[in-house]
Structure 1
């Protein structure tokens, strides 16, 4: 088993973690210096002296890039066991890291997550950030997990080719991994670990605005595509309703045109795959979903507008809000 530690401008906690791991395990330790400045050279030299392999990026490329450098190195060395990734800031206990190595050996072709339980004193930004990404991941996949942002993760060697191909070079890489895993047949295993935040997590290099935008980018793209399609749907609905005074005809007509626009945007920009999902399959699935959502749309609109008497605009807004999460989950899980 290889313990992979991506590191950018670490402190002595990295060396402390390495020494503790050496005391309790014979697993090899691979450290990737992600372009740290020269003043940190002594720390990485100490890691080498402790028996670690150290790979170096000439400039900072991001955590995702550092992880892929490590995965590629293990792949080239022919490692047949697996890799457990840990952060360099002392927030993963050696005993938790070793627990993951055991679970990786028992669960081949699984992503093993060291899931924090977020009990005790947790920095507010970490608590809010993890809650938000848990919600986004549950909406995207229909499968809730405890900790989407954990840096303590394990993988068997059969997964290394796939891990090197996942898009993303910074913190979004780990979210992309979780989003893509169900589509290639990799399940998740969660292992509870201690929640440790040192100095209110001040050592983290996570940039709240820039990196959060990268993490949520797949979901934001879907929101943008759906938003433009919704505007088109709204305009056509009211135009057709004014022309025909028939709610069913108006809904069918507006949804037909807006769904063609939405399918094109989602297939090209939101759920695009490098290997490409066959147009014929995704087209059939998408418009099957359109029919289901259109029937639900009509049912809710008829209930709210015709039966209860809620104005058309308000009925439309309520209906779309109810169906938005279902549509995202179905397209991510089934269509693309």
Structure 2
């Protein structure tokens, strides 16, 4: 049995995911005992479910957006002296804890400051053709804007070493934060790499219908900036 990873916190933005968050936390805790959920004004029992599953929980009294949740989580983890890394991790079950473990292993082996997850390395992604094209366009524009040579520039599964996390100061609360964090991480000039990850598009996540819209919003933000 592989050991748990105790120098890393998962930061999980949480908004109305009460149906699945307990299972997400329980699966992730098999590898990462330290998990912080930032409940962003959920209207359901997401916070209670996450707490009962063993996560630490911080709560925003009102919905501020994913960028605000990430910044709240990053600020909290940086106060934990034992935290060498943090990993941003989605609450809806799309991310795989084993992928996060592999990213940690890669960072440790190569002294990396940042590891970006990529859907375009390894197994084919499960999404439709329009989303794939949109993601590839986002990656192309991000390379132009930031200089980061990535195949999947806005994957929510990313590992930050403490020095990389200290450079993040998100002011864009909603989808524009995805471009903002890329620019801030690029400015660090820290060594980075991509790691293959599998995004699991479940019936639950497809029913929410947010994935393609978020990608399009990010692309529009890159074009108009």
TM (norm. structure 1) is 0.57
User: For the Cα contact (< 8 Å) 1:116–1:193, is it kept in 2?
Assistant: yes
Which residue number in structure 2 is paired with residue 121 of structure 1? Answer: 126
Secondary structure of the residue aligned to 1:91 is coil
More strand by share: 2
Q: CA deviation at 1:103?
A: 2.8
Q: Deviations over 1:274-306 (max 9, x none)?
A: xxxxxxxxxxxxxxxxxxxxxxxxxxxxxxxxx
More helix by share: 1
Report the Cα distance in structure 2 between the residues aligned to 1:120 and 1:166, rounded to whole angstroms: 29
Which residue number in structure 2 is paired with residue 33 of structure 1? Answer: 39
Which residue number in structure 2 is paired with residue 197 of structure 1? Answer: 201
User: For the Cα contact (< 8 Å) 1:86–1:152, is it kept in 2?
Assistant: yes
Report the Cα distance in structure 2 between the residues aligned to 1:107 and 1:203, rounded to whole angstroms: 38
Q: CA deviation at 1:207?
A: 7.9
RMSD over aligned CA atoms reads: 2.5
- Identify which of 114, 133, 137 aligns with 2:138: 133
Between Structure 1 and Structure 2, whose CA radius of gyration is higher?
1
Secondary structure of the residue aligned to 1:67 is helix
TM (norm. structure 2) is 0.83
Change (3 A) 1:45 1:188: same
Q: CA deviation at 1:212?
A: 4.1
Structure 1 portions without partners, runs of 5+: 222-336
Q: CA deviation at 1:54?
A: 0.5
Change (3 A) 1:34 1:206: farther
Secondary structure of the residue aligned to 1:130 is helix
Which residue number in structure 2 is paired with residue 60 of structure 1? Answer: 63
Q: Are 2:194 and 1:186 aligned?
A: no
The structure showing larger relative contact order (alpha-carbon pairs under 8 Å, at least 6 residues apart) is 2
User: For the Cα contact (< 8 Å) 1:123–1:197, is it kept in 2?
Assistant: no
Report the Cα distance in structure 1 between the residues aligned to 2:220 and 2:42, rounded to whole angstroms: 27
User: For the Cα contact (< 8 Å) 1:109–1:158, is it kept in 2?
Assistant: no
User: For the Cα contact (< 8 Å) 1:112–1:188, is it kept in 2?
Assistant: yes
Which residue number in structure 1 is paired with residue 9 of structure 2? Answer: 2
Secondary structure of the residue aligned to 2:182 is helix
Change (3 A) 1:120 1:31: closer
Q: Deviations over 1:38-86 (max 9, x none)?
A: xx22x32132122210011111111111000000011123343110111
- Identify which of 51, 54, 57 aligns with 2:54: 51
Q: Which moved more, 1:150-159 or 1:199-208?
A: 199-208
Q: CA deviation at 1:109?
A: 5.5
Report the Cα distance in structure 2 between the residues aligned to 1:143 and 1:28, rounded to whole angstroms: 29
Q: CA deviation at 1:2?
A: 0.5
Report the Cα distance in structure 2 between the residues aligned to 1:204 and 1:106, rounded to whole angstroms: 37
Q: Are 2:25 and 1:18 aligned?
A: yes
Report the Cα distance in structure 2 between the residues aligned to 1:183 and 1:157, rounded to whole angstroms: 15
Q: CA deviation at 1:157?
A: 1.4
Report the Cα distance in structure 1 between the residues aligned to 2:61 and 2:178, rounded to whole angstroms: 22
User: For the Cα contact (< 8 Å) 1:75–1:157, is it kept in 2?
Assistant: yes
Report the Cα distance in structure 1 between the residues aligned to 2:188 and 2:146, rounded to whole angstroms: 13
Report the Cα distance in structure 1 between the residues aligned to 2:162 and 2:148, rounded to whole angstroms: 25
